[in-house]
C-alpha cells in the first residue's frame, strides 16, 4: 500500500517538474519572441535559459517516458513472441536499463562536480546546476527501470508500458 503511494507520488512529482520546466520554457520563448518583434534588442539570457529548460524537461520526463513506453521500443519484435518469452525479454530489458543507467550515475556526478568551477556565460549560473540535469535523468531512468523490475517480480506488472490512458498506478 505504501509502495503504491510512493510510486504514485514519484510519478506526480515527475509530471509536475516536467510541467514546470515546460512552463518556464514556454514563458521564456514568449519573452524572446516578443522582444525580437517589438523591442530593439532581445535579452541574451533567453537562448541559454531555453536550453537549460529543455535539459530539465528531458531529465524529469525520461522516467515517465520509460514508464509509458514512449522511449525507443522494439514492440514489433516482442509483440509477435509468445507471452512467456515476451515477458522474459521485457524483464531482461528492464534489468539492463537499470544496470546501464546505474553505471552512468557516478560519472554523471563527476560531470556535475566539474561544473562547480564554471558559470554559464549569459545567466552567470553555476554550471553544476545545469549539469545536474544529466545526473537527474540517469537517476530517474534507473529508478523507473528498477521499479518496473520490482513490479514484475511482485506480479503487479507484465513488463509492458503502463499508464498510457492517463490513470495513476
Do 157 and 137 form a contact (C-beta atoms < 8 A)? no
What is the pLDDT, as a whole number, of residue 167?
46
* Prediction pTM value: 0.88
What is the pLDDT, as a whole number, of residue 164?
55
Q: How far apart are CA 152 and CA 133, in angstroms?
A: 28
DSSP alpha helices (H): ranges in 39-126?
45-68, 75-78, 83-114
- 62's grid cell: 525520461
The low-confidence residues of the chain, meaning pLDDT below 50, are 165-168
What is the pLDDT, as a whole number, of residue 162?
82
What is the pLDDT, as a whole number, of residue 165?
44
What is the pLDDT, as a whole number, of residue 163?
65
Amino acid at each position: 500500500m505504501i509502495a503504491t503511494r510512493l510510486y504514485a507520488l514519484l510519478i506526480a512529482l515527475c509530471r509536475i517538474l516536467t510541467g514546470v520546466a515546460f512552463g518556464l520554457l514556454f514563458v521564456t520563448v514568449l519573452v524572446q519572441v516578443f522582444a525580437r518583434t517589438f523591442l530593439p534588442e532581445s535579452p541574451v539570457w533567453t537562448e541559454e535559459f531555453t536550453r537549460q529548460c529543455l535539459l530539465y524537461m528531458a531529465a524529469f520526463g525520461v522516467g515517465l517516458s520509460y514508464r509509458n513506453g514512449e522511449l525507443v521500443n522494439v514492440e514489433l519484435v516482442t509483440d509477435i513472441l509468445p507471452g512467456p518469452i515476451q515477458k522474459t525479454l521485457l524483464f531482461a530489458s528492464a534489468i539492463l536499463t537499470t544496470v546501464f543507467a546505474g553505471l552512468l550515475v557516478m560519472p554523471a556526478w563527476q560531470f556535475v562536480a566539474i561544473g562547480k568551477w564554471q558559470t554559464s556565460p549569459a545567466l552567470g549560473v553555476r554550471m553544476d546546476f545545469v549539469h545536474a540535469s544529466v545526473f537527474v535523468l540517469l537517476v530517474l531512468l534507473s529508478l523507473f527501470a528498477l521499479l518496473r523490475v520490482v513490479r514484475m517480480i511482485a506480479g503487479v506488472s507484465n513488463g509492458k508500458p503502463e499508464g498510457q490512458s492517463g490513470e495513476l498506478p
